[in-house]
Structure 1
Amino acid sequence: MSLSDDGDYGGDRGPETGQTRTRLPDSGGDGYGSTRRPRSGLSSRNLVTAVGVVVLLIAAIAFANRSGGGTNDSPSGNSPKHTDTQPTAPTGTKPVTGKNGDIAAGFAKTEQGAQSAAANYAVALGSARMFNRDQRHKIITTVMAPSAVDTFQKTLDKAYSADFNKNVGLNADGNTPADLTFVSRTIPIGTKAKTYSNGQATVEVWCTGLLGMAGSGSTKPVTTSWFTITMKLAWTNNDWKALTHSQKSGPAPVSGDVPASGAKEIAGAVEGYGGFTYAR
């Protein structure tokens, strides 16, 4: 950004210091031996510009510090250091030590560990594999506590019916029609522990999701949704396992103005971009 205008701001610089000359309206000349006077009104304009730049810098620094982009200590060191972690900020703790199949496992017995488990379990329970009966049963057995497996499995087997599969564009048996790509992805945005005690936790996971069929001739295009999953977890067999799982719509932001991509591009993105292990 340039601060030059019709006057001499930025027009002349000292040969050794490289500093911008500031011309004062006195008859004896300025500090560099010049006898020219600034044009009428120049000093006030320069002052407004300089003050504006300072105000913008102060606002930027304050915003960076509030967002975690700067230090929490004041220059004098008198202010106490902020230790509160923002809701979606990483804790720095390694999320998992292993995996069970392709689902993360071995979470820490901490509040952060429970949140990480809930986020990763939300991804698994919202994946395209849930539409296949055998794969669904495997996921449920992996993420749910043993005491909750049978009930949750029966509930979902009823939910993932032949009619439901057809409604999202799949065949009645949950398989994808030829030349199409089925998309079902859950992407956690952030997590929050509603309650936590030794061995018990209730965690909310705010998510966005993709669901639909990509490919030429698809009548069920891929759409996005926003929802919040609430998961009760218990420390079971040295890991966090889900006891219950529920979902509600929102919070949803205002849709942007990005034009929708074609079916081929969406299919290529789904097949080409892998997922993540989520950590709190």
Structure 2
Amino acid sequence: MNHGDDHGYRTGGSDPDDSYGGTGQTRTRLPGTGDDGYGTARRPVRTSRSLITVVGVVVLLIAAIAFANRGGDDGGDGDGGSAKGREAAPTAPTGVKPVKGKAEGTGIPTGYAKDAQGAQSAAANYSVALGSDGMFQAKSRGDIVRTVHDPAVAEELLTNLAKAYSTEFLGAVGLAQDGTAPDGLAFVSRTIPIGTKVTDQKDDTVTVEVWCTGLIGLAGPESTKPVTSSYFTLTQNLKWVDGDWKITSSSQKEGPTPVNGDNRASTAEEIASAVAGYGGFTHAR
């Protein structure tokens, strides 16, 4: 699920709101330490064994990725070091209650405060919804898009998404025409926000960047498209509409991506069991 510049909706498009997708820097702050673990100058070398061939369609946020093949361990290495001048971020929730309720039918949290904190909570939760497997089936996709978007843009977006989620595309990611997975396999599409920041704010509009990691693929022993992970940053332009934050436009870019760790890749059976046993989260701060 690499969400790079080559998917065609970032900079250079006709929508001026998409200009935020190519700007800004996102970094993580680790609680309780001033060291980022990698060093400020470390950039891994990507070898041919770690390359991922990606087939994807992205219209607004996350559509899908079909992984054609994936190599072994990352051969990258770099100089160690410590990050200077970084302060620990609090881990306990602070501020006003982030959300009042949930939308009927979708369960997506709604009813955010009209401030920067509320906008960041909305952007994080909307990223989770728009990166879910519900986007691959027409009815649930319509419910999700209408819940999180400004009504002024929702219907046109759904028209475009209907073209993007074509029979050919669903087949490319291993799904049936109705968006369901083959028997014995579980389709995984999850977006997990890591952090958020406001990059622009006016009275009724705000721009929020959401740094995310994502999982996508088919889990099961016979899968030829195994579940893989990626890192990307979503930029959401939000507007205060009828007492809540709603998306008017979005864009995304690849990374920031950390150096791969030494974790052993799990078997197909382990991944399938985890998918069935662990539910997803909503995020709010």
Out of 222, 228, 246, the residue aligned to residue 223 of structure 1 is 228
- C-alpha displacement of 1:90: 4.6
Partners of 2:233 and 2:256 within 8 A in 1: yes
Give yes or no for the alignment of 1:242 onto 2:247.
yes
Q: Distance in 2 between matches of 1:169 and 1:93?
A: 43
Query: Which has the greater radius of gyration?
Result: 1
The structure whose residues are more often strand, as a share, is: 2
Gaps of 5+ in 1: 1-62, 68-83
Correspondence 1:98 to 2:111: no
- 1:85 deviates by 9.4
**What is the aligned partner in structure 1 of residue 172 from structure 2?**
167
Tell me the residue number matched to 2:123: 118
CA contact (8 A) 1:95 1:278 kept: no
Q: Which has the higher contact order (CA 8 A, sep 6+)?
A: 2
Match of 1:261 among 262, 266, 269: 266
Q: What SS does structure 2 have at the residue aligned with 1:266?
A: helix
Kindly report which structure 2 residues correspond to 1:161-200, keeping only aligned pairs within 5 A, or say none: 161-200=166-205
Question: What is the distance in 2 between the residues matched to 1:197 and 1:115?
Answer: 14
User: C-alpha separation between the residues in 1 aligned to 2:127 and 2:245?
Assistant: 13
Please identify which structure carries the higher helix content: 1
Distance in 2 (alpha carbons) for counterparts of 1:273 and 1:122: 19
The residue aligned with 1:141 is: 146
1:85 and 1:91 in contact (8 A); partners too: no
- 3-state DSSP class of the match of 1:219? coil
Decide whether aligned partners of structure 1 residues 97 and 263 sit closer, same or farther in structure 2, where only a CA change above 3 A counts. same
C-alpha distance in structure 1 between counterparts of 2:232 and 2:91, whole Å: 16
Aligned partner of residue 187 in structure 1, secondary structure:
strand
TM-score by length of 1: 0.68
Query: Which residue of structure 2 aligns with residue 24 of structure 1?
Result: none
| Structure-2 change in CA distance of 1:208 and 1:64 (3 Å) | closer
Q: Percent identity?
A: 56
> Once structures 1 and 2 are overlaid, which stretch shifts more, 204-213 or 173-182?
173-182
Residues 146 and 193 (structure 1 numbering): CA distance in 2 closer, same or farther, change over 3 Å? same
Aligned-CA RMSD value: 2.2
Shift of 1:93: 2.9
Q: Is the Cα–Cα contact under 8 Å of residues 87 and 192 in structure 1 kept in the other structure?
A: no
